[in-house]
Structure 1
Amino acid sequence: MMRDTDNVELSAAWDVVPDVAAAQGRYETAVKLRREFPRGKTPAEALTAVRDDAIARFKATGKWSATFAKDAAKAHSDAVAWQAEADALFSLEAIAKRTAEDLRDALSGDVLTHLGGRLAEILDAAKRAGEALGDVTSAEQAIEAGADALDAWRRLTGLLTDFRNVREAQWSVLRSVAGEDERTRLRQWRGAGHGEVQGVRLDDIPPHIADVMRSQAYSIEYLVWLARSGSASVPKSYDDLEFSVTAASEPVAYDDAGPLVDLSPRVTIERERKPLNTRREPRPFID
């Protein structure tokens, strides 16, 4: 089975990349061919069947089959041909699967870009629904608030499912193109709350929102906050995520020593020095 084919957002992202979609189609065709290939016998099974049939007839009639060798040769030949095609179809499925997955990885940037577009669509709709929701933060409050708030809550419930799928798809793609050490860092970054927003320091995010980022226990309240913040993003690559993590984690540097002083070498004009006049004029002689 292909990786993560149960995630509708990831499948849709793969489908919009032409080369990936074509490779996926070929894989599905290979699976269909392999499953529909009729059941047959291996060469050993075929020869055993011919032998058992000849023995059974001998027991019944006392006569040995005059066509045993011919029957055995044909059965074996047919079985060899069946076995060759069956093996080829199994290999075809495996190769088509590997090719499709390799293309997904090679074109992961296109897939992540599509997921970023989907995230923008989801959050744009969530922002509009959040405006109708007002200060409502639970289904019970939405029922009490009336039809508009209840309709907004229902829309946000569906959008929350889409949002979860986009985030899971994002991490699946990033893991697929990462090495073992990089996958370890991805788990650490995700657990620390990274990969949700860009251009915002985690220390500047409200604590209850940061808790959701770390746990991925997404809620409608979080979805609305994220939509209003305008800072949500899908990393375009592992390097893009790493840059975002560094920017969001490094402490802000302050200068406690006052204004910066330029300590670079200064170029000064050397003054022309005149030699001292050490010659003494003779005094006039007075008698």
Structure 2
Amino acid sequence: MPRRKTTPAPASVWDAVPDVQVAEKQLKETEERLSSLPRTPTPEEARQEVIDVAVEAQRTDGAPIPADIGERAAEAYTAAIAPHAERLALATAVNALRRRMPLLKSRGSRSVLAALSAQLDDVLTEVREIVARSGHLDADSAIEAGEQGLTDYRRLRELVGVVDDIRTTQRSVYAATGDAGVLASLYRQGHDQFCGIPAQEGDDGSPYRRTPHPDALPADVLDVVQGRRRRDVPFLIYMAESGRAWLPVDLEELTGAARDAEDVGTPDDGANPFDLRETVTEELSAPLQSRI
């Protein structure tokens, strides 16, 4: 099977989206042009400076206010208009491009994520082929399996690095288009890496189930998902064999899978579980008035 090209780094992932590439080029050029401009006063500042100099000369040296002070102030004001307008135009353009970038990235994110998803599928297919050929390899069994086993084990370790790159780039795309707090919650549950993850609430509303859900991720896999362990060959093999590894191609697909996993159930009284419940609290008695 032909192998795909190296996963693009997060900084260059948008090179494949023409609209984003054009906008980023424009933004870079405009920022450079803005930063190269010398600091100049606003027209109001330039006019006021001429006036302040004349007034200070009168105050300290007794010099009369020049007869043409109005013309001088007007000339300073006029001379400052062009450079100030240029700076204002460039600053406005930079802000507009920065505000537009999330929209452009949101539009182009699906194609980027779809390419990453296809690359991940290729990796998992290759892993399954290796397992079918050489079994569940580790360092010891690879040595015992001989040259083919060592070759396959080295390739599995390379593929762990490929998956690391894919997931890093995947999250960089999400970060450019989604809410950081929502994404962090989805990442903790592993919704960006595996589908079909059940809700984690217990029957009593506690944060964790008292009995593991049959579809819950294994503890060692969850350790990797939540950052307590690095990805390794066993994790890679689990990804390939579980049939649950995926890469959502847009934020709607990612958040939709998370919502589907939330099994809120139906209360015994048949009430809507999302309705606000009335809470009865004991009213405080009115303070007794003093007779004094």
TM-score (norm 2): 0.59
- The answer (yes or no) to whether the contact 2:46–2:77 under 8 Å persists in 1 is yes
What is the rounded CA distance, in whole Å, between the counterparts of 1:53 and 1:122 in structure 2? 73
Residue 37 (structure 1) shift:
2.1
Letter in 1 for 2:218: P
Identical aligned residues as a percent: 24
2:190 match: 193
Distance 2:66 2:157 in 1: 77
Kindly provide the amino acid, as one letter, of the partner of residue 92 in structure 2. S
Paired position in structure 2 for 1:40: 40
Q: Which has the larger radius of gyration?
A: 1
**Deviation at residue 10 of structure 1 after TM alignment:** 3.6
RMSD: 4.3
How far apart are the structure 2 equivalents of 1:61 and 1:37?
A: 38
- 1:77 Cα offset (Å): 0.8
Q: CA deviation at 1:242?
A: 4.6
Partner residue, 2:106: 105
1:207 correspondence with 2:211: no
1:225 to 237, 240, 245: 237
**Is the 2:43–2:76 contact (alpha carbons within 8 Å) kept by the matching residues of 1?**
yes
Shift of 1:162: 1.5
Tell me the alpha carbon deviations over residues 160-197 of structure 1, each in whole angstroms, 9 at most, x when there is no partner: 65144124225425625x9xxxx64x544432222213
**Partner amino acid for 1:168?**
R
2:95 maps to 94
Tell me the CA shift for residue 134 of structure 1: 3.9
Q: Which residue of 1 aligns with 2:178?
A: 175
Query: Aligned AA for 1:39?
Result: R
CA-to-partner distance for each residue in 1:179-237, whole Å, 9 max, x for gaps? xxxx64x5444322222134788726433113322447432346533564364321022
Determine the structure 2 residue equivalent to 1:49: 49
Q: Closer, same or farther in 2 for the Cα pair 1:216/1:29, shift >3 Å?
A: farther
Contact 1:195 1:241 in 2 (8 A): yes
165 and 212 in structure 1: CA distance in 2 versus 1, 3 angstrom threshold:
same
Amino acid at match of 2:83: W
**Runs of 5+ consecutive residues of structure 2 not aligned to the other structure:** 1-7, 141-149, 199-213, 264-292
CA distance in 1: counterparts of 2:234 and 2:79, whole angstroms: 64
Partner of 1:276: none
Distance of 2:228 and 2:163 partners within structure 1: 12
Taking the aligned partners of 2:76 and 2:151, their CA distance within structure 1 comes to 74
The equivalent of 2:168 in structure 1 is 165
- Matching residue of 1:234: 247
- 1:21 paired with 2:21, answer yes
Q: Structure 2: how far apart are the matches of 1:162 and 1:204?
A: 25
Deviation string 1:39-66 (CA, Å, 9 cap, x unpaired) is 1111232123323544677667956545
Question: Greater CA deviation, 203-212 or 100-109?
Answer: 203-212
* 1:100 partner letter: M
Which one has a larger percent helix, Structure 1 or Structure 2? 1
In 2, Cα distance between equivalents of 1:100 and 1:174: 9
Three-state SS of the structure 1 residue aligned to 2:9 is helix
- TM-score, normalised with respect to structure 1: 0.60
The unaligned stretches of length 5 or more in structure 1 are: 1-7, 138-146, 251-287
Shift of 1:152: 6.0
Q: Name the residue aligned to 2:203.
A: none
Listed one character per residue, the Cα deviations across residues 96-141 of structure 1 (whole Å, up to 9, x for unaligned) are 111222111233322321332454466678889997x94139xxxx
* TM-aligned CA distance change 1:55 to 1:121, over 3 Å: farther
Give me the whole-angstrom Cα distance separating, in 2, the residues matched to 1:78 and 1:12. Answer: 43
